Structure 1
Amino acid sequence: MITADAKATQEAKELLEYLKNTAGQQIITGQHTQTIPCEEIAYIRQTTGKEPKLRGFELLGYSPNINYADASPECLTEVEENKGTAETALQWARANRPDKVNDTGTENSTDYTTGGILTFSFHWFSPLGGRDKSFYTEHTDFDAAKILQEGTPERAAFYHDMDAIAGILQQFQQEHIPILWRPFHESYGTWFWWGAKGAKVARDLYRLMFDYYTGEKNLHNLLWVWNSDIEEAYPGDEYVDVVSMDVYLPEYQSTDYADAYEKLVAATSRDKVAALAEVGYLPDVDLLQKSRIPWAYYMTWSKEFCIGEKYNSVENLNKMYDSEYAVTL
């Protein structure tokens, strides 16, 4: 399978191939975290005796423009708890490196049936202005459309922030660690500043970042995850490795998320790896095993979506992690 980035690292290429080969044969278990202790992982391990193969980390606390003087206690706590998680992610990735095998006699390849997989989310505080959790549109008057205009303060701030985050991602490239990178998530909605001016603006921001990171910043350890099911806003196959959706059902139902899959691939591409990048309720692994809907992975959102039984029962969590169809760590 060809990566969107023509210069993708060998590890990134092999990870994409692994995701492609897994989809429809099994589903990779995934869990988002936001803090250094990763309480969600401890809960899953305590409940099931296993851990998810795919671990998500959050970069919100690394946003360069956080308005500490005008932030709620909740915001300040969330930022404080998130600080240091990039180093936690690096330590985890080092400790859970997949094995290297030499099956060609010429060079070692990565065996992704072993080890863990890493992804980042980025609730990006608006690059200019804003208060409180300014990744939310309601807390900033930052105009994402102005980023697309040469010479604007918005564009300069956008690139300034991209440089800061690129510095974090480069640490992983130096250690040959690929990342499932999901910027501008949920751009089908207007609740984040990057989607506030419409999904097409978010698409153009995504393309700007792709070109800047793969070109100017020489970041080639990223697999690019697009997170929207709006057809006219799809960046194009040349910019995307994984198509994904976030699905939060109003109440629990036993589902393989088949409807979400069909809507997603119809709006994007049937030739890409597909993923449930965020869910509130776990997919039903028995239904998945029967239907073989080719989700490569799912990821439950953090905090109460994982811990306790408000969203997912202990029974359903154990059913997932005990299933032969689920890939765990």
Structure 2
Amino acid sequence: MERKNSLLPCNPNASKEVIAVLNYLNDMAGRGVITGQHTQTREQKELYYIEQITGKLPALCGFELLSYSPNISYDSCDEECKKEIRENEGTLETAMTFAKKYGGLITFTWHWFSPLYNKNKGFYTVNSDFDASKVLVEGSKERIAFYSDMDVIASYLKPFRDAKIPILWRPFHESEGNWFWWSAKGMKVASKLYQLMYEHYVTVHKLDNLIWVWNCPKIEGYVGDAYVDIISRDLYPPAHEHTDRAREYRELIQITPTKKLCALAEIGTIPSVKELSSSRIPWSYYMTWSNEFGGSDQFTSKEELCLAYHDSYAITLDKLPKLYECQTII
């Protein structure tokens, strides 16, 4: 099952910190799995839960950027949407603190409220009339708004670049489905949007601290090796079903003959770390989703969580080597 990455970042100008992370992930492939947990609020209740149960913290922490979307239609938001936005505010500061205090790995998820024509939770297709295919048309309103939103988010990412903090960046996630506006017109359109973002962020904004994570397990939607450092997929298995996810790994690697690092970018029920230590399926990392998935025993029992975090194969925060040196921004 060993698939060693070529270690060449897709961005030829990638920072030394990006290279260090990719080298580490490659070295550990099949020798250990990085534990990860998504948090979408500043409270980070999931981290407190994990530490209470296991006495440890994950090596990777995920953060949500939905509240930073420039085009939220607040007047149409219901109370649930407003609460989600409000609780997500300030998570970039929390991410910066996690990186500077612990030197842990960070990854960002962006439930992007569509650049135009949205209501309520406007990242969902059902709540947006935004036609992603029109972004591909030069001079269209959709294209202009798309780039405007990207520029705003780039301004939030630049302090991380300046502080020498690498980010596992996973835009346009779950592009195999049609539930988000970016893939409502198909996987190929979503992959084109990803390419536009890559080119804009690399050539215009010089965001050389980004590690580019593609998040779609379908070969027909693959964006191409030139834009990807890590291939990944999201999984939500039944509660308390813990395996090494070997079948899902074999499916994922079919999208490219190139040996790419692989990750479980979102998962509801954690994989079996014990099985992974035996099968050596080289998942680089997994990131448990938030709320009931990572902050309760509804999907993963306390016993299973404790066994996973204390397995010698699990890379928790205390086992993670120093991969980057944060710089103070003046």
Q: TM-score range by the shorter chain?
A: over 0.9
Q: Are residue 95 (structure 1) and residue 83 (structure 2) matched?
A: no
Map 1:122-161 to 2 at 5 A: 122-161=110-149
Deviation at 1:254, TM superposition (A): 2.8
Q: Any idea what SS the aligned residue of 2:130 has?
A: coil
Secondary structure (helix, strand or coil) at the match of 1:256 reads: coil
TM-score (norm 1): 0.93
CA shift for structure 1 position 268: 3.0
Q: 2:16 aligns with which of 6, 10, 15?
A: 10
> 1:106 matched to which residue of 2?
none
Contact 1:229 1:268 survives alignment (8 Å) = no
State the one-letter code of the partner of 2:310. D
Q: Which residue of 2 aligns with 1:285?
A: 273
Of residues 219, 230, 233, the one that matches 2:221 is: 233
SS in 1 for 2:182: coil
Tell me, yes or no, if structure 1 residue 201 matches structure 2 residue 183.
no
Q: Counterpart of 2:70 in 1: which secondary structure?
A: coil
Quick one: which of 61, 67, 72 aligns to 1:61? 67
Unpaired segments ≥5 residues, structure 2: 1-6, 318-330
Identity between Structure 1 and Structure 2 (%):
51
Q: For residue 181 of structure 1, what is the amino acid of its counterpart?
A: W
SS at match of 1:29: strand
1:173 matched to 2:161: yes
Q: Give the Cα–Cα distance (whole angstroms) in 1 for the partners of residues 287 and 97 of structure 2.
A: 21
> Please, which runs of 5 or more residues in structure 1 have no aligned partner?
98-115
Q: State how far apart, in whole Å, the 1-side matches of 2:195 and 2:308 are.
A: 36
Change (3 A) 1:67 1:240: same
CA-atom RMSD in angstroms: 0.8
Contact kept in structure 1, 2:66 and 2:111, CA below 8 Å: yes
Q: CA deviation at 1:270?
A: 4.7
- 1:46 equivalent in alignment to 2:52: yes
Tell me, yes or no, if structure 1 residue 80 matches structure 2 residue 86.
yes
The alignment covers a number of residue pairs equal to: 311
Aligned partners of 2:18 and 2:242: how far apart in 1? 33
Secondary structure of the residue aligned to 2:40 is coil
Choose which of 183, 186, 190 in structure 1 pairs with 2:171: 183
For 1:220 and 1:45, locate their aligned partners in 2 and report how far apart those are by CA, in whole Å: 33
User: In structure 1, what is the equivalent of residue 208 of structure 2?
Assistant: 220
Aligned to 1:247: 235
The letter of the residue matching 1:19 is L
Structure 2 length normalisation: TM-score? Answer: 0.93
Q: Confirm or deny: 8 A CA contact 2:239 2:300 kept in the other structure.
A: no
Structure 2 residue corresponding to 1:319, chosen from 307, 312, 315: 307
Letter matched to residue 129 of structure 1:
Y
